[in-house]
């Protein structure tokens, strides 16, 4: 069975700090590596994604770092804000995406 | 540009009953995937529909079935409901051949009592 492991389960960061969430996968056939953000009562929303041909992608305060050989990728949130408080999921795959267990981020004001 | 629409938003059913959940995909999308998200967990893949056929299926029993209509909308049916079926059911749409992730709806919260 395809496994996706996400860490940490929860994270508390001060406003302005850096939040780092990690994801490890097993299936080397995956070729799309997204992060989703989910607020309570809402469905997940695509935040940022990367393809395996690059090692890093930055969009505003959000950066994905990708290590193909280690089968890991991570989400970095720079200058974390209280509005970033949400649950974050990695969901690697190819046309079908396998979600991690989620990381609950709380950014303190 | 309408996103993914799911109905109803909330539903309470009794054990043993049957339920039908509905989904309208984002305009321009032709593929619908259904996920089950238990409280505090990540979404679990149920199945995916394309061209009115089930294309892929996750590890869910046959009590879970679906349908896709010619207008790309979709239904998820669950028979013989169990207490453990209580969850948020998410519909996600995408365009076949575009490996760019999903657009999710806000989900249907199903409570089985």
- For B70-107, give the DSSP string: TTS-EEEEE-S--GGG-EEEEEEEE-TT--S--EE---
For the residues B91-97, what does the mean pLDDT come to? Answer: 91
For the residues B28-36, what does the mean pLDDT come to? Answer: 95
pLDDT confidence of A107, banded at 50, 70, 90? very high
How do residues A60-97 score in pLDDT, each as one tens digit?
999 999 999 999 999 999 999 999 999 999 999 988 89
* Rounded alpha-carbon distances, angstroms, from residue A68 to A29, B22, B41, B96, B99: 11, 38, 26, 26, 18
Share of residues in chain B with pLDDT > 70 (%): 98
For the residues A34-56, what does the mean pLDDT come to? Answer: 94
- What is the torsion angle, in degrees rounded to the nearest 10, for the CA atoms of residue B56, residue B13, residue B24 and residue A29? -20
> Which one of A1, A91, A94 has the shortest CB-CB distance to B99?
A94
Min CA distance, B68 vs chain A (Å)? 17
CA separation for the pair B108, B6 (Å, rounded): 7
Q: Is B45 an interface residue toward A (CB < 8 Å)?
A: yes
β A103-108/A10-14 pair status = parallel
């Amino acid at each position: 069975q395809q496994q996706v492991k996400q860490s940490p389960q929860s994270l508390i960061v001060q406003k302005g700090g850096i939040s780092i969430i990690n994801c490890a996968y097993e299936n080397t056939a995956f070729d799309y590596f997204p992060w989703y953000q989910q607020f309570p009562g809402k469905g997940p929303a695509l935040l940022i994604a990367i393809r395996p041909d690059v090692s890093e992608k930055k969009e505003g305060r959000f950066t994905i770092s990708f290590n193909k050989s280690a089968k890991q990728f991570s989400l970095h949130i720079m200058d974390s804000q209280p509005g970033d408080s949400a649950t974050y999921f990695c969901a690697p795959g190819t046309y079908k995406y396998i979600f991690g267990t989620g990381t609950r981020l709380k950014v303190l004001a | 540009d309408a996103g993914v629409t799911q109905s109803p938003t909330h539903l309470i059913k009794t054990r043993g009953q049957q339920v039908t959940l509905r989904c309208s995909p984002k305009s321009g999308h032709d593929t619908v995937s259904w996920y089950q998200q238990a409280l505090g967990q990540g979404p679990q893949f149920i199945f995916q529909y394309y061209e009115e056929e089930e294309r892929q299926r996750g590890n869910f029993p046959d009590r879970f079935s679906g349908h896709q209509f010619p207008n790309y909308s979709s239904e998820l049916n669950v028979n013989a409901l169990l207490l453990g079926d209580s969850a948020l059911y998410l519909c996600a749409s995408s365009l076949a051949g575009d490996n760019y992730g999903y657009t999710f709806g806000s989900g249907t919260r199903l409570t089985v009592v």
